[in-house]
Amino acid sequence: MTTWQPIDTAPKDGTAVLIWDGSDMVVAICEPNLLIPWRSTYGDTIGEPTHWMPLPAPPEADER
């Protein structure tokens, strides 16, 4: 899956994903038991994201 998905289908197990709130994109995780369940990986709370997508795979290690 590499396209934007509705936020209600996002993983809610602490997996980091890219989210969109209509104006900004941020890497975030969902903690559904909190009053504001979404927070960035820096710890900032995020209001009402509308869409999400998985993070891309990291680059392969450089073999020098």
Identify the pLDDT of residue 5. 96
| CA separation, residue 37 to residues 7, 22, 33, 49, 50 (Å) | 12, 17, 7, 10, 13
37-48 residue pLDDT tens: 899 888 888 878
Spatial separation of the C-alpha atoms in residues 1 and 45, rounded to whole Å = 26
Alpha-carbon torsion (43, 32, 12, 2), positive or negative: negative
Spatial separation of the C-alpha atoms in residues 27 and 54, rounded to whole Å = 9
Identify the pLDDT of residue 32. 86
Domain ranges for the chain, please list them: 5-54
4-60 residue pLDDT tens: 999 999 999 999 999 998 888 999 999 888 888 899 888 888 878 999 999 998 888
pTM: 0.80
